[in-house]
Amino acid sequence: MVQTQDKSATQGTSTAQASAETPARPSTQDKSTAQDSSTAQASAKTPGHAWTIASLKREDNRICRLLGTEYPIIQGGMAWVANAELASAVSNAGGLGIIAAAATPPDILEQEILKAKSLLKPGKPFGLNIMLMSPTAEAALEVAVKHKVPVVTTGAGSPGKFLERLKPLGTIVIPVVASVTQARRVEKQGADAVIAEGMEAGGHIGELTTMVLTPQISQAVKIPVVCAGGVADGRGIVAAFALGAEGVQVGTRFICCEECTVHPNYKKAVIDARDRSTAITGQSLGHPVRCLRNKLTAEFERLEHDNAPASEIEALGTGKLRAAVVDGDTEWGSLMSGQSAAMVNDILPARDIITRMFSEAEAILAGVRA
């Protein structure tokens, strides 16, 4: 186990940029009248469970019952990171481990699924994340069908066709969404639950923060909501549940997991991260990605500032995630990570990470209820 000094004491704050970038708001009439008139609409779209904190206990939690897990926690489907070793470790520890299909060739993906099955304890579930914009998404779907993967999470696209293919087979399908509109759409299409991912997350992100997105989606749908983006400890779990979620998805924290096979340099970069250590690149391409700051992100920012051709920007990112994960290149590799990296201080087994997070959450809730 590797431990480092707590980062909270060394993190500073900076507000100059925020104040400089915040436009003045035009004056408006008192909002109370408008708010009163919208009460009926709000109540009509708000399920009763949205205003109570869901239970963390397996028998009372809809996510646990749906997935067959001990804890309502899903490990994020991080490309090149979420493999059989990590997924099986999380599932064996009581959560739902996920293998990331990303752009993996189907034969290699099939090997990962078989490996995960060999590592799983009897009765433990696992899942597969399919990135819908990937050129191998259709092939990944067929692999999931062939091997009867119990849970599929989707992202970066509309999962309608995938739901049509998987639901008749009894597969649990949980799309990752970044807006209320998307959440409502996938609920109508038959999704079993939805993952509301805020822009604090690592990798491909949307525009809304977790704090804003989660309660709106919790109000808008009746299926269970899983909160993602910025969750790394028990405080994050309690906050997520207070916002209406019934589970959490965690990615960055599991990078610094003993069973995670990423290069040690990658793990060290996450542990060394501070509150402003991430950057968002690729916004000019319409596919923003959050990573730890390094020479690669600086070059992305330069190209985007200079309005470089999209082909040049895309070429810069080719092979960079593998460079970080496999080769440990922390300067020119793509160190995809969420803002929660600033709260990761050690490397622990998956079981210890999960039990500590939920012990913290239970202690906080006990204090609130007292």
- The ranges assigned to domains in the chain are 55-261+343-369, 274-336
Top-level CATH class of 55-261+343-369? alpha beta
How is residue 216 written in tokens? 């709106």
Q: Residue 219: which H helix or E strand, with range?
A: helix 210-220
pLDDT value, residue 51: 55
pLDDT of 335 above 70: yes
Between 104 and 6, the higher pLDDT residue: 104
Kindly report the pTM of this predicted structure: 0.84
Strands 203-204 and 289-292, sheet pairing: antiparallel
239/365 Cα distance (integer angstroms) = 10
pLDDT of 368 above 80: no
310/302 Cα distance (integer angstroms) = 13
Do residues 74 and 127 make contact, with C-beta atoms less than 8 angstroms apart?
yes
pLDDT value, residue 370: 66
Tell me: the pLDDT tens digits for 188-219?
Answer: 999 999 999 999 999 999 999 999 999 999 99
The one-letter code for the residue type at 328 is G
pLDDT value, residue 95: 97
Between 10 and 179, the higher pLDDT residue: 179
pLDDT of 167 above 80: yes
Average pLDDT, the chain: 87
Between 52 and 128, the higher pLDDT residue: 128
Percent of the chain with pLDDT over 70: 85
175/152 Cα distance (integer angstroms) = 8
226: β partners: 195, 247
**Rounded alpha-carbon distances, angstroms, from residue 127 to 79, 130, 263:** 14, 10, 23
Tell me: the pLDDT tens digits for 236-275?
Answer: 999 999 999 999 999 999 999 999 999 999 999 999 999 9
If you average pLDDT over residues 117-143, what whole number do you get? 94
pLDDT value, residue 53: 75
pLDDT of 285 above 60: yes
pLDDT value, residue 35: 44
